[in-house]
Structure 1
Amino acid sequence: MCRFLAWTGAARHLDEFVFKGDQCLVAQSRHALIGKTPLNGDGFGLAWYTDRGTPCIYKDLNPAWSDSNLKQIAYHTKAQLFLAHVRASTSMAVSRNNSHPFGVGPWCFMHNGQVGGHLRIRQALDAMIPADLYERRNGATDSEAIFLIAAGGGLDREPVAAMARAVGRVETLARENGETPFMRFAACWTDGKRVFAARYASDRFAPSLYYKVQQGGVIICSEPLAEAETWIEVPPGSAIETDGKALKCHEFAPMSLQPA
């Protein structure tokens, strides 16, 4: 699986969360404490927002701990909203195009989870991506496909509901043609103004997701960055939304949105 984090609030240097601390994101890439896969060395990515309106995305296929460019960028870059991800591949190749986050217009998305039987349903999954967005299909992961399906299904208007519909459609496909577990989904997405995150699974093993409201902003992550601090676990079947100040909770029930 994968590990990720997102920050929104007062401007912070990226390395404060990516490199500093006993259980920072790079530490999690070497030895995650929660989840199925302790090693997350199949690529990494960063995305941050400036006044340009679209995210600056830097990613590569190297393990996060070995990339000197990542250290320099994280040390010198300060942003009010940023995402960071370290990958553990479940089926697709280790490549830059398969590393997270993924971006379309102002939107950016990263994911931890899997679609059951992805290789078996890959062609049908690609067919769900709207034609006008298919040129943005640079990689081969199920994660990128879910994002593009959501982007073409009303993400601008309904950021939580559109993502839930996309996850529900993909889960339905996996139930009909794939294999168990049909869907495991913990993800974070943003338009550069608000950050959204959701946790869901077709079984009882939803990937982990936590958040913490602290002075100056909100941090969302796959697992706590420090054991001694108080983190709130996002319940399965739930989504959160924050602008770095207020935080809202939403139901996230993908299958309830599908036709009977």
Structure 2
Amino acid sequence: MCRWLAYWGTPVLLDTILYRPTHSLIDQSLHSKLGVETTNGDGFGVGWYSAHNDTPALLRDVGPAWNNRNLRELADHVRSPLFFAHIRASTGTAVQQSNCHPFRYGRWMFMHNGAVEGFPVVRRDLTMLVAPGLYTNIEGTTDSEVMFYLALTYGLDEDPPGAVARMAGVVERVCREHGVEFPLQMTLALTDGERVWVFRYSSARASRSLFYSSRVDALRRLHPDLGFLQHVSGDTRLVVSEPLGDLPGAWNEVPENSYGVVQPGNDELHRFAPAAA
């Protein structure tokens, strides 16, 4: 499957979160500890927002993240308060740029780790449920991109958690009509550039790993010697497929079948369940 991270908070260089941690996403591309595969080398992508553009910028490539010189160069120069980064291990679809995460539509970004079981069989049925005005924007062949456009179809602009719940509901319904017992496995993140929503769910109630960082003020008390913590706001957050290091007290598991909202002020954590579309 894949590994990803979402960063929200004080503007930092991409290098700070992508390369510097002990078990960084770059390290995970070769040595994942909690993923289905140890190596995630079927492409990568990063997305970020700037102060002068509501539409996120993307860099995606089909090669592995660990030796991409353009990514290494970019990381030392791009600073943002919101980053998405993703390393891919294909579940069967082609290794091509249009299949690399994050996906973008307008101000929205979306990335995913997981799979729609039996996707080759249900792909046509699911794709035909995408709104006609959105359909022509689908460039790749992944289940993840179809999930994103289904969420857009079911009201992502107005109600992100509800739209993802309706997307999950229709994926499960269509798959079960084709005899798939446990259709959906997903840990996903989406953002409009202001807030980040993260979801952990699977039909079999055995979801892929997902963690969020502890509050910065608590980490400062635990680790007063870490200089990095002195320069970020108290509500800065990371959400990751697996921890970026073994710092005691730094990481908390996202509960099974739940979603969280990272936003100014108080973050939120709620139960998640698919809904009828």
For the superposition of Structure 1 and Structure 2, which TM-score range results when normalised by the shorter chain? over 0.9
Deviation string for 1:73-118 (max 9, x for gaps)? 1111100011000000001000000000000010000000000101
**TM-aligned CA deviation for residue 135 of structure 1:** 1.3
Q: 2:189 corresponds to which residue?
A: 188
In 2: Cα distance, 1:134 partner to 1:209 partner: 30
In 1: Cα distance, 2:8 partner to 2:170 partner: 30
In 2: Cα distance, 1:158 partner to 1:69 partner: 36
Cα contact 1:13–1:75 (8 A) shared by 2: yes
**TM-aligned CA deviation for residue 204 of structure 1:** 2.9
Residue number among 215, 220, 224 corresponding to 2:243 in the alignment: 224
Deviation string for 1:181-238 (max 9, x for gaps)? 4110100000000001000000132011110133420111101101124211111110
Cα contact 2:205–2:257 (8 A) shared by 1: no
Deviation string for 1:1-52 (max 9, x for gaps)? 1000011110011111111122100101111111211111000000000120
Q: 1:233 corresponds to which residue?
A: 253
Does residue 37 (structure 1) correspond to residue 37 (structure 2)? The answer is yes
In 2: Cα distance, 1:244 partner to 1:178 partner: 43
Q: 2:47 corresponds to which residue?
A: 47
Q: Residue 62 of structure 1: SS of its match in structure 2?
A: coil
Q: 2:276 corresponds to which residue?
A: 258
**TM-aligned CA deviation for residue 128 of structure 1:** 1.4
Rg: which structure is higher?
2
Matched ranges for 1:103-252 at <5 A: 103-177=104-178, 179-212=180-213, 213-214=215-216, 215-216=232-233, 217-229=236-248, 230-243=250-263, 245-252=265-272
Aligned pairs, number: 257
In 2: Cα distance, 1:55 partner to 1:81 partner: 10
Deviates more, 1:177-186 or 1:34-43: 177-186
Identity in percent: 40
Cα contact 1:121–1:178 (8 A) shared by 2: no
Deviation string for 1:150-186 (max 9, x for gaps)? 1121111101111111111112111221535411010
In 2: Cα distance, 1:245 partner to 1:75 partner: 29
Q: Residue 115 of structure 2: SS of its match in structure 1?
A: strand
TM-score for both structures, normalised by structure 2: 0.90
Cα contact 1:116–1:178 (8 A) shared by 2: no
The alpha-carbon distance between structure 1 residues 23 and 170, as it changes in their structure 2 partners (threshold 3 A), is same
In 2: Cα distance, 1:38 partner to 1:129 partner: 34
Q: Residue 110 of structure 2: SS of its match in structure 1?
A: strand
In 2: Cα distance, 1:72 partner to 1:245 partner: 33
In 1: Cα distance, 2:78 partner to 2:92 partner: 32
Matched ranges for 1:61-140 at <5 A: 61-140=62-141
Q: 2:224 corresponds to which residue?
A: none
Q: Which 4+ stretches in 1 moved above 2 angstroms? A: 178-181, 213-216
In 2: Cα distance, 1:158 partner to 1:245 partner: 19
Q: Considering only aligned residues, what root-mean-square deviation do their CA atoms show, in Å?
A: 1.3
**TM-aligned CA deviation for residue 250 of structure 1:** 1.9
**TM-aligned CA deviation for residue 244 of structure 1:** 5.2
Cα contact 2:48–2:82 (8 A) shared by 1: yes
The alpha-carbon distance between structure 1 residues 208 and 196, as it changes in their structure 2 partners (threshold 3 A), is same
Deviates more, 1:96-105 or 1:240-249: 240-249
Cα contact 1:9–1:245 (8 A) shared by 2: no
